[in-house]
A and B are shown apart, each in its own frame.
Chain A
Amino acid sequence: MLNLQNTSLRSVLASIALVLVNPMALRAQTAGPEASKAAIVEMRSISFFPKSVTIAEGQSVVWKNVSYTDHSATSDDEAKSFDTNMIVPKASGQPLVFAKAGRFPYHCKMHGRTMSAVIIVTSKP
């Protein structure tokens, strides 16, 4: 199945994206001792990037809107355990700390299921 997540971004954006998020680096971070640094997830035109981020308990996530329209990161559970509310283009949300281990699927309130992703929080050894 094709999964061309980057096709909608223009070259300028793409280069910014590369600087900002390197999924390999993120994974390295979560594994290391300085796991408290925030993981960054980009909000793109109609997707989150990366689509799945793994962090350690106590680490935080920042959503950064690099697209041209508003987005939110809103947890899928009915209790709405987290919700950044709408973040306007070029802005970032407040860092959000994930205190407990688990799998946290989320989506954008405006764009629904099409724009969804997951944060995986691993428990500390």
Chain B
Amino acid sequence: MKPIFAVLFLSLASSSCLAYSKPKKNEGPTTAEGPAATDLPAFDYEFGRPIEEGEKTYSWYRKTHADEAAKRLGFDAAAIADGMDTWHWWVGVDNPDFWRDVAKLSGSHLNKTNLRLDVLRMLLTTPRAERFKKLGLINDPDCVAATKPDQFGLTLDRMKDGTLTWDPEKFGYSSGVIGLQIFKNEKFDSKKWSLAQYMDDPKSVEAPYKIGMSCAFCHIGFNPLKSPSDPAEPKWENLTSAIGNQYLREGLIFGQDVPASSFIYQYVSTQEPGTSETSRFPMDSINNPTNINSIFRLADRLKLAKEERITVEQKTLIESMYKNAGVPLDSPIGALGGTEAEPTLKVPHILTDGSDSMGVLTASVRVYVNEGMMHKEWYPSWPLNPFHITDSLKRRFMPKEFDIIHEHRKDPNSPWMQTERRMPNMATFLETYDSFPLADAEGGKAFLSTDKALLKRGKIVFADNCASCHSGKTPEGLTNNPAERKEAWRKLVLSDDFLKNNYLSDDQRHPATELGTNVQRAEGTNAQAGSTWGQMSSQTYKDMRAVPMKIMDFNANGEALPLYNPLSGKNDIDWTGPSAFYRTPTLVGIWATAPFLHNNALGDYKADPSLENRIARYGDAMTKMLWPEKRLGIKSIKVTSEDSSFPELFPEMLKTIKFLDGLTLKLLYLPKGMPVNLLMNLNPKHFPELVEAYIKGVLNGEPRHKFKSFINSRRDAGMASMLQRMLELNTVPDFIEDRGHTFGSKLSDEDKKALIEYVKYF
């Protein structure tokens, strides 16, 4: 078997460097005239205790995985190891500067919200022992908690002495949380440094370190076959790099200090665990956090890639990218085809909506931008650019494309270009994860049924109801005759090697009208032409989205209904949007990754990575999936837990609103029990209209100058009118999170139980 990329660029990958801000010809020490001029502060990193005899470190983890996978797949172990380093520690060169920029926002006087978008602060204020419990973060086994403040008064975790086996200028030092790497801050001046001042206003002083974010931050999770005895102190053997962190509380990372009486807290605390709101920065005015999905059987998945149309400019882009990264034009990560005038690319459907449709290389580098790589170029593409509010206002919060075709790949040493060159090995690394069979878990067999008849029944139910979407393999010579088709699928599923090398998904996009699941994520617009990622999606994707689609809910009998209206309590929202799709997710290892669906909304959550809890969560989610009447339904709508105040984020925006005498922002509070997404799914350009709706509600036809005399007696009317307006202006008024995907709900209880037992073997 060959790795995805036929050409490995180990040497290229290791020659890149972090000094993008000041590009030099020869990076690193190369002349005999003296050490290369260093612009890094000259202080030594303080290590923690030395590694102990026999202690397993990242070096062990990397070597065991690379050697095992190289043997199993015939790949080059060095390429896998290099790819793992990139996945774990590469921060796209300059994303530490992005996180620094963002931290400056929180300290500014513009922001009185207690929202602290500051990773360094989070690390300093959340001790190692509490990080998992509070935020679901995964501590680095190679670190120990600081026993005393370092030379700068910082109590960051320390790497154990002997665990640093890479160039810290390139990959940083571990912060103690996997995926957050610390780098020396070249702007640091020890004479000006004050920790107290930094904590008070991070904008006012440069800290000794900057923090960068790598892919592993969200994607590493606990190994379901070897649960940690203490999730706060996992060992390397308890971790696996591509399953996705099911416990991450992304919203709370920055929202720990926000009081519940602020709407911001209501927003961040209702984000489902194990999700990331990937359109938070390039905001699409839809609150649609997405499950950090597992990445298994990538090579099998690539065999399901489909040709999609791309533009001639995109073809030229792909050719140039493949050249830079050393990827052949017919690579399975995205093979070029079609004609000069009508080119195509054979692509897997990456992301839950299949929008990332320009191949694995484009998709991977794109994510680096979404974590802050080349942020200065990226900010202007955001609809709401907090670094330049007036510009956003001028644009009426319209997005722009991040222009890789014409601009951001020009400099061969740009972070984008450097990162491109690292991707072949990273993709090879990502190809190495197969599955986590429950039978292989310590004590796993106890949860598996060995009842042959029951399992056979489960297989047949799966063949009849699920396999058409949830299998990478299809029966040969399928006819149009329903009875024959059924037989063929059953025969395939019953065969002994059905599960082997099976991606357990067709990797295709299915319309929301067929699935019935909440469409907020699928209605995302960032990959549309003119938006941030507009150049990184195929023409086929764009054309599919262009067709209008009436979005419906479904009742227990499967009959279509208008969407549920939380203000009227009735299914009376007729709403048509761009077509919405979800790509079938893999069911590989699904016993370990409940809750279900793109938003992790189906099934109860418990922050416990033990085998028992995984099985319990699986049972709960499967039960709710197959017996829809057991779901939360309208209780799955995200609502506020108390009266909360409007987020006072940007004074520039407030200035655009006409307040009448007697009306203040405080008055316009948001009532307890209100659906969070009434407000979160609004384009900020609509805020003035909300205020106007409130005023109209209070006035109820009276002239405006009488506003002050009614304001106290008619608050409720003002509020009701404002909420109604929020609904009318809502970007995607689909509120029930756990709806849809009711396949199999009409089966007998016995069939459902058999199916649940069989799927545990995935």
Chain A positions near chain B (C-beta within 8 angstroms): 1-5, 7-8, 10, 45-47, 67-70, 75-78, 81, 89, 102-107, 110-114, 116, 118
Contacts and interface: CB of A to CB of B under 8 A. Distances in A.
Contacts of A118: 34-35
A52 B36 CA distance: 14
Contact of A2 (B28, B32, B38, B190): B190
The list of the 3 closest CB pairs from A to B, nearest first, reads A68-B162, A112-B167, A76-B29
B606 to A, nearest CB: 39
A75 B28 CA distance: 11
Given A1-B42, A118-B34, 12 more contacts: A5-B44, A7-B46, A68-B161, A69-B164, A69-B165, A76-B30, A76-B35, A77-B30, A105-B36, A106-B29, A112-B28, A116-B35
Contact of B43 (A1, A68, A81, A106): A1
7 contacts: A8-B45, A10-B50, A45-B45, A102-B32, A103-B32, A104-B32, A107-B28
A3 to B, nearest CB: 6
Identify whether the interface residues of A are mostly helix, strand, loop, or mixed.
loop
Nearest to B35: A105
Given A1-B41, A8-B45, A116-B29, A103 B169 contact: no
A46 B161 CA distance: 9
A79 B47 CA distance: 33
A2 B30 contact: no
A3 B41 CA distance: 9
Given A1-B42, A1-B43, A7-B46, A67 B30 contact: no
B166 interface: yes
A69 B162 CA distance: 5
Contacts of A113: 28-29, 36, 38, 40, 167, 169
A51 to B, nearest CB: 9
A3 B170 contact: no
A114 B33 contact: no
Interface of B: 28-36, 38, 40-47, 49-51, 151, 161-170, 190
Nearest to B170: A112
Contacts of B167: 110-114
A68 B29 CA distance: 24
Contacts of A70: 165
Given A46-B45, A46-B164, A47-B44, A1 B32 contact: no
Contacts of B42: 1-3
A83 to B, nearest CB: 13
A10 to B, nearest CB: 7
Nearest to A1: B42
Contacts of A114: 40, 167-169
Contacts of A103: 32-34
Given A105-B32, A113-B29, A67 B161 contact: yes
A116 B40 CA distance: 13
Nearest to B51: A68
Contacts of B169: 112-114
The winner among B36, B49, B167, B168 for most chain A CB atoms within 10 A is B167
Nearest to A6: B44
A8 B46 contact: yes
B268 to A, nearest CB: 36
A110 B165 contact: yes
A47 to B, nearest CB: 6
Contacts of B28: 76, 107, 112-113
Contacts of B166: 110-111
A8 B161 contact: yes
A118 B36 CA distance: 11
